[in-house]
Structure 1
């Protein structure tokens, strides 16, 4: 994986609404309508090595091949995560001949790899990955190159030059808390106070899940560490456990609503989805705090399983994800999409959504592939010993 700069300046620009004409044009180029029925269907063996829609004879051929497969296996995509509930529903509405199976929605990046290895070439093999950088960088042999139609909209340092992986979205590490049960924190250090005893959780095991590891990275930066030194983050959680404040419970909307996990350190888009913006199933008292100063982000990566059960549907899914329609859905959840800068330039970003979410920070810390790999090794050797 290529080196990715630790700080990237992202500029917000004025934008106008996505016009009906542009939406119609997008639908025309990727529709599963009558044009796809007459296209020749590419054999599976060739679909497995296709590196762009051109290998299918264009989008009509890709849709025809995906329709012929009739299935798509996605993995570790909770409906409330980055608007994936709406994204999956939108794909199924657009391509009704393709049934999506969503495997292990609450799993981790490591679970994605385990599932792919266990399934091999079986019909239940995950077709696509939405995966953290540290785990992906150790498993590049599992993925195969593919470049979406608007490949040029993805910044050069947001993708592998050959197309084996590409960023999709990032949130910012944040503290979510139930304002009816705990005082409002203003720093990570506040979480060490008695008021938070038995109340602080993160999203899983940091040695397995990128979101949990990123909570450690945030703690490291807030405790004098750096992207090359996350030990202060491990030490912080060791102290948090010693104080009796850290709990080993996997937080969900249910545990938040029941009061079991009134403080959760996780991505901003997940905290936002669990609060008032989440509708009737959410907690009206749930607040989201992105700490002042340098923000901690981590783009997730899209990649196609080299042994995908449905290789054409996998490639059509990637085309769907990088369409302005879905990139705007990521943004609406509070996750900044990879093509945001290009969308602002082409006026395909939804200005009302961008205004409500807020412009991304001018700079944020994201661990490079090398730093994430080193951090993962340190977590593997030190987390259970220090925190358990």
Structure 2
């Protein structure tokens, strides 16, 4: 009797799983058709050298045959939010369907009614701590703040934040964005402050502003947005940016100039970014299909190829889905062991301090 009952239960479970799989496949087929009927997707703030997005976008286009309109690749998280607000009634190519923003921007966009709920098929494998329970936003990838160094111009790379104040780094140090709007730049200031404040998160925002005020006073700060071109040209020989961006530059520049990527000895800050669909998306089905692609194994590995740790990394690793050659290209794990993952409340607090207080530093980043 027990054996018969066990067999019946197993058969019932198998039938339910098969039915669920068929339902998901049918739903996915319907979504693909609806997205292809819309014909296009509009993204914003996705540089091709950020997280391997160039290849990810091409992979999406090749798989589904949709056109992708790419708005303002160098925009910051705040700019993405403003683009949604400014285009609420615009159904043309200037209205973003999807956004990729710093973690703290997800809840605020939800509170303001700017994004809509959608749960991807792989929803359960996204850690609960990295997603909105109602599906309005969900973590996509993370990295740590690092020093990207042009070794042709900087003979000895800085090892920690305090080193950046040394006279040998005069007119060399740049942020990777405007600290009033760009999450990457805000995170750089916070990381410097976390080091200066001895790890005290509550004091790091103001400590970071004080650090950059001193850095500027010493003549070491360059008020230019740091990225690969000014780094290679020597305008900004040291750029404070996420490790995945710096590592991608190292590959792209191919030794011209040689690039050193340094995870600082203290003030190691991990930054989680999140995806969301605009509440006013002109192409809502294409937006949902984009999310399905990004959170599929293929999309997640696409980010990993761009040196970003995808949010489903642990799930992929557990199931043996990460090719060894990708694992071999990842940076050494030692520098990541000290990483601090600020909570949403902590991020909101230091973000407010930094964005409102940046003017006190006395310089505008352009």
Give your verdict on TM over 0.5: yes
Choose the corresponding residue for 2:350, options 359, 365, 375.
375
Query: Which residue of the partner structure matches residue 180 of structure 1?
Result: 152
| Superposed counterparts of 1:18-97, under 5 Å | 57-96=26-65
| Superposed counterparts of 1:234-249, under 5 Å | 234-249=209-224
Q: Distance in 2 between matches of 1:294 and 1:264?
A: 16
Query: Which residue of the partner structure matches residue 103 of structure 2?
Result: 133
Provide Cα deviations, 1:96-120, integer angstroms capped at 9, x if missing partner.
Answer: 1x10000000010011011111111
Query: Which residue of the partner structure matches residue 170 of structure 1?
Result: 142
- The offset of 1:325, in angstroms, is 1.4
| Superposed counterparts of 1:136-151, under 5 Å | 136-140=106-110, 141-151=113-123
- The offset of 1:121, in angstroms, is 3.5
Q: Distance in 2 between matches of 1:245 and 1:322?
A: 41
Contact 2:52 2:307 in 1 (8 A): no
Secondary structure of the equivalent of 1:365? coil
Query: Which residue of the partner structure matches residue 340 of structure 1?
Result: 313
Query: Which residue of the partner structure matches residue 229 of structure 1?
Result: 203
Gaps of 5+ in 1: 1-28, 30-52
Secondary structure of the equivalent of 1:299? strand
Secondary structure of the equivalent of 2:307? coil
Query: Which residue of the partner structure matches residue 220 of structure 1?
Result: 193
Q: Which has the higher helix share?
A: 2
Spell out structure 1 runs of 4+ moving beyond 6 A.
none
Change (3 A) 1:111 1:328: same
Highest CA radius of gyration, 1 or 2? 2
Query: Which residue of the partner structure matches residue 264 of structure 1?
Result: 239
Q: Distance in 2 between matches of 1:232 and 1:304?
A: 35
Provide Cα deviations, 1:1-59, integer angstroms capped at 9, x if missing partner.
Answer: xxxxxxxxxxxxxxxxxxxxxxxxxxxx9xxxxxxxxxxxxxxxxxxxxxxx96x9510
Q: Distance in 1 between matches of 2:42 and 2:286?
A: 9
Aligned Cα root-mean-square deviation (Å) = 1.8
Provide Cα deviations, 1:235-271, integer angstroms capped at 9, x if missing partner.
Answer: 1111100000101101222111211110000000111
- The offset of 1:362, in angstroms, is 4.4
- The offset of 1:221, in angstroms, is 1.7
Query: Which residue of the partner structure matches residue 121 of structure 1?
Result: 89
- The offset of 1:158, in angstroms, is 1.1
- The offset of 1:296, in angstroms, is 1.0
TM-score (norm 2): 0.87
Q: Distance in 2 between matches of 1:363 and 1:263?
A: 22
Q: Distance in 2 between matches of 1:157 and 1:134?
A: 13
Provide Cα deviations, 1:174-201, integer angstroms capped at 9, x if missing partner.
Answer: 0011111012111111111111111110
- The offset of 1:293, in angstroms, is 4.9
Query: Which residue of the partner structure matches residue 252 of structure 2?
Result: 278
